[in-house]
Every structure is written in C-alpha cells, then in structure tokens.
Amino acid sequence: MGRPPKSSVRKSRLPNGIRVLTEPIPQFSSATIGIWVENGSRFESPTQNGISHFLEHMLFKGTERRTAFEVAEEIESLGGSLNAFTGREVTCYHAKVLSEHLPIAVDVLSDIFLHSTFPEEEIERERTVVLAEISEVEDSPDQYVQVLFDERFWPDDPLSRPICGTAETVSGMSRADFVAFVQERYRPDRVVISAAGGVDHDWLVDEVGKRFGHLGGTANRPAEGLPAPALQLGVHQKPLEQVQMMLGMPGLSAVDEERYAAFVLNTALGDGMSSRLFQEVREKRGKAYSIYSYFDSFSNTGSFGIYAALRADSIAEVVEIVRAELAKLEREGLPPDELERAKNQIKGGMLLSLESTAARMRRLAINEIYFGRNIEPHEVAASISAVSSDDVLAMAGRLFRDGRMAAALLGNVADTALDEAALGLA
C-alpha cells in the first residue's frame, strides 16, 4: 500500500479559545465557511425549548450595519448562498460563495454573529414564521412521527423535546431572552469556524482574530446527562392515508469506538434501495412505500431507528419481518459479498461527498467538536475496510440481543394488531 496523501487541513486556536480550521483546495473555485456553536436544543431548559432555533432565525434579521434584506442580498447578489441550521448539540451559520468573494462572506457572517440587534418588530414577525414551522412539522407525518418517538424514547430529558420548541415556549420568548442567551452560550470556547475550498488559512485566522478576538468568557451551559431510553409503544390517531411507524432501541454515541461496524450493519440493513429491509418489505412483499434504518447519535448516547410508511393492516407483518431480519443479523452477521458491498457503498458515498466544499466544511467542524482532531477520509476508509463479519455480528448482538423495541405509530391505527408483545415488551 502507498502512503496516504498528506493532509492540507490546518487548525489554529485564537488566544480567546476560538478554533479555526481550514482545508484549502486551490483547484476549487468556491469556498464554504461556517461558524459553529456547540449549543443546541439538548442544552435548553423546558421553558427555553426552541430558543436555540429561534435565535438562529433572529441572527438574519438585521445588524447595526445591515437590514435583514441587506444581509440576504449581499450574498445572493454574488450568486452565493447564506443559511443556518440548529441541531440537538450544535448550531451552524454558513455561506457558500466563489472564492474571490470569501472576504464578503466572512464580513456578513461575522456581522450577524456579533452585531445582530434583535429588533422587537422582527421578533414578532419571525415568531409567526417559527410557529408556522412548528405546524409544518406536525403536518408532515414522516417528520412528526420522529418527534412523537423521541418524546417517548427519551422521557424527562431534553432529547425528548422538539428542536423547534412548542407553540407555548416560542410564544413566550422575548428580546431579553435572546440577548441573555447569546451572552450565556455564544462564548469563544464553544465556537469553531471552519472553511473549505478556495481559502487561505493564515488570511482567515487573521480575519477571525480581527473580528472575534475581543470576545471573552466561557459558555455556561448544562452538562450532557446520560438519559435512560424507555422502550414503550405509543399510538397516535390521525386521519392519514398511510401509517407512519418508528421502531427503535438504544444505539451508539457519535464517538463510540465500534461505530464503523455499526455503519456497515446499518448500510446493509436499511440504507438504500439495495438494503435488506427495502428489498424484503417493499420489493418482495409490497408492504411499505418507504422503509429505512438509521443511527441518531449524540456526544454520549444515541438511538437506532427504523422508519416505515405503510398501510395499517401491514403493521404487524412488517414488524415481524423487521424482527426476523434483526435476528438474522444477530445470528449470522453478513456474508462476504454483502459485507464488501456495504463497505464500498459507505466509502463511495464518502468520497463523492468530498466534491462538495460544504460537506468538507461540515466534516472539519464535526470532527473537531466530537473528536478534537481531524479524521482524514483515508483513515475512515481504512477503518471501514477493516470491519469484519465478526465485528458486524458483535454489533448486532450488542444492539438486538434482547429483542425489545420501542415504537411510535401515527395514522389510522385504532384497530392495529400491533401490541407490546409483538415488540418484545410484554
């Protein structure tokens, strides 16, 4: 084997603690930059639920130098894009532009991050938008069933609460709440700035130092607790054409040392049209329109889930098929050809993603936040390649050994045959 390619990734830490990471790719004509804050809905109190997401919206609603229109127009007039997202444990503000316009992107992002004014009239307008977004989730059955599942799976824990908050919590948030939350959480020790594509590391560090160097203090946020998942059945009646079903069980944290075996197992089981669940449930039996599996992983815990959209009279049969496939994996692992196919699927998808500066920017930040170091693609590929059938077998035993699953059903499910015994809970 040849030597792995030398990494172009660089990292610097400002005196105040802000971390700056870059992956210069001179041949790319674009650059993507993100300002990441290690803060999300997991670190909110019950009355604060949704404030991280609402605040993310408000940072685009005007600064001391720019109106809300000017914030959007300055990037879009260059053909670029400006956006943000909030998760359970992170919030990110990001922009993608032609490399020559990166200084403007840095200026706009730093302006909204440091100098947003939170006008009262904009708060009221955006409150209506956020409330509409909450309603939209409730009107999107495939998203809403995940919310319902989390409520039951993580009882009495912030992970059980929706990222967007509720109508009640969002309606009670004021300008003073946003100002205090920024002062409390948006501190330099929890900020990572990452960029990939046509970017010069030394230039970016200098720019970040000029704009963010005055920030001080440390973030005050609750520590991540270790929640205890609850395996139970939740049935939610709603007039829908299809039933939305979520099955789940305890999974892995984002930093679990055995995560690569889990990636391979999940790919073979339920990731894509060639996966076991899709082939068995949809293609061979026609029992579901959509079915897939996934890991939902956080810093110290996680879940493994299976989603399906199906008819009510197919629920019991599909659960039986799923349980049979899980038991088969626990009993047999993966045969060599399927094992290799799953590995190649993961590695191929990862390599294709490297054509995107946005994906590279995200990878830099996530690796820093969760691992404290850069993990090169060749290292990930080597770890995937090293996964054996015994590793998959051990992971299946770890995940599925007691045969118990939580479930959430949404739709016309009053007369469903599914009960706790079918889920191994009785």
So which residues are the catalytic ones? 56
**For the chain, how big is the Rg over CA atoms in Å?**
23
Say if residues 245 and 146 touch (Cβ distance below 8 Å).
no
Say if residues 75 and 197 touch (Cβ distance below 8 Å).
no
β-pair partners for 36? 92, 192
Say if residues 277 and 325 touch (Cβ distance below 8 Å).
yes
Comparing CA positions, the residue from 307, 298, 300 lying closest to residue 266 is: 307
What gap in Å lies between CA 257 and CA 102, rounded to an integer? 37
What gap in Å lies between CA 208 and CA 147, rounded to an integer? 37
Neighbours of 314 (CB within 10 A): 20
Edge-to-edge strand order for the sheet containing 81-86? 10-13, 19-24, 191-197, 30-37, 91-98, 81-86
